[in-house]
Amino acid sequence: MGSCSQEKEKQMVDLFAFSRAVISGKIEMGRFFLAPCLVLLAVLLLGSGADALQVIGGSVTVVQGDTAILPCKLRLIDSTEDLTQITWQKRTREKPSNDNFITVGPSQEPQFVHRRDDRFKYIGNFNDKNGTLQLSNVALKDEGSYTCIFTLFPGGTKKTEIPLKVTVPPFTSVMDNLPTLGTEEVLFVTCTAAGSRPPAEVRWLTGVLGDKLRTTTNYIHYGNGTTTTVSSLFGVPTREINGHQVQCVISSHAISTEETLPFIIQVYFSPTEVNMKAISGHSFECVTEANPNANFTWSRYGQSLLPSVVKVEGAKLQVLSLTSDLNGLYQCEASNTYGRKYGQLYVHVASEACSAAWALFGVLLSLNVIGAAAWCFHKSGHFQRCLEESTSIYSMCSIKCCSPDIKDQYHDHMQKR
């Protein structure tokens, strides 16, 4: 032992001899008061030795993939002992045995005891008795306990343990379950926070949908200490729910802020009834409702190709020039992944004379005096000829563009005659 240790040993011997003298009665003053003071004095003397050599460390928590600083510094107070070496040991998930893996000497060049791991970097200073290490790209396998050991002459070793905890942020996603219209409860969407450590919390913000939706949450635990949290939304797939937004909110100690994943609930269905809408005098559009949106295909009954004077853009059909080549029955097909529906349009282009006559006939029918005029014509014998002439015009001209039901009404009228 050195002079410092011998001095402490002599102090302790004198202290015990003094206390025995007090107890035996050789020293009478303040017997009941002095004994506790002696105990306190012994504690102070022992504590002063501990404070003279103290290793400062601490626990460390780091996110997987980040860089960890393993702090280690020796504090010397009124000590003449020399630092000869700094040694690091580790006990981790990958290697549970406590082995030396790095040593640092006065040259300040770290030496790896076994295989080299360049993720470790000595960032301390030997002369300042600072043994701090840096570990970059931390993996879950690195979690464990790291021990920093200072070797002193002639006092021996001083050490501290530094626990390293590794957290793992979750991999997050939402997945649509592709529900179709129905009356029974189905799964709408699943939100997943995968491979988190510690387990992530997943909750839903459903807004106006409220109690129309039901939530379930399940956990899957893995051998490496990570957990996958799976939360699902259930409900009845109606058109009222379709298109509403919900939010999946994920929180974890491994992420600094909550993560919010918005999702629009989709209820899928095939095209509904296809209707024809007149956009202008010579343009028409297929109108239907579908999810996903329908694709439209125009065709002409009995013909492989559409006339060159017809222009098609999606659901729209535009007549570029009025010719008799246009006459026929046109079909619009609306389709998506879940089904298809059809709509039909009958086109008939009339001559200019017929069109003018039919327009005049329409105006006459719209006048309030048609009754009186008809009575007058009937009495004079002209009404029958006029009706026959107008009917003839209708049979030749029809209407420029009309739906099949109008065409059927026309044929029914002709058969009754």
Are the C-beta atoms of 200 and 220 separated by less than 8 Å? no
Backbone angles phi, psi at 267, to 5 degrees: -110, 120
pLDDT at 356 over 50: no
Residues 51 and 154: their CA atoms lie apart, in Å, by 17
Q: Domain boundaries in the chain?
A: 3-54, 57-167, 184-264, 275-347, 352-416
Share of the chain above pLDDT 70, in %: 71
Assign 384 to helix, strand or coil. Answer: helix
pLDDT at 28: 43
Cα dihedral sign for 81, 84, 90, 95?
A: negative
Residue 347 — very low, low, confident or very high, per pLDDT cuts 50/70/90? Answer: confident
Cα dihedral sign for 296, 188, 254, 171?
A: negative
pLDDT at 386 over 80: no
Those residues with Cβ within 8 angstroms of residue 20's Cβ, 6 or more apart along the chain or in another chain:
none
Average pLDDT of span 62-86: 91
CB atoms within 10 A of CB 102: 22
CA end-to-end span of the chain: 135
Assign 354 to helix, strand or coil. Answer: helix
**How would DSSP label each residue in 295-338?**
EEEEEETTBSS--TTEEEETTEEEE-S--GGG-EEEEEEEEETT
Q: Which tokens sit at 336?
A: 């998506």
pLDDT at 391 over 60: no
Find the DSSP H helices in 87-154.
none
Query: Among 131-135, 149-153, 239-243, 407-411, which is the least confidently predicted range?
Result: 407-411
Those residues with Cβ within 8 angstroms of residue 35's Cβ, 6 or more apart along the chain or in another chain:
19, 22, 23
Question: Among 201, 335, 337, which residue's Cα sits nearest to residue 266?
Answer: 337
CATH classification code of 57-167: 2.60.40.10
CATH classification code of 184-264: 2.60.40.10
CATH classification code of 275-347: 2.60.40.10
Cα dihedral sign for 41, 46, 47, 49?
A: positive
pLDDT at 408: 53
Residues 328 and 346: their CA atoms lie apart, in Å, by 6
pLDDT at 87: 97
- Whether 184-264 shares its CATH topology with 275-347 is answered yes
Q: What is the pLDDT of residues 278-308, one digit of tens each?
A: 987 789 999 999 999 999 999 998 888 888 8
Residues 21 and 59: their CA atoms lie apart, in Å, by 47
pLDDT at 219: 97
Q: What is the pLDDT of residues 157-196, one digit of tens each?
A: 999 999 999 999 999 999 999 999 999 999 999 999 999 9
Rounded to two decimals, the pTM is: 0.63
Residues 16 and 45: their CA atoms lie apart, in Å, by 13
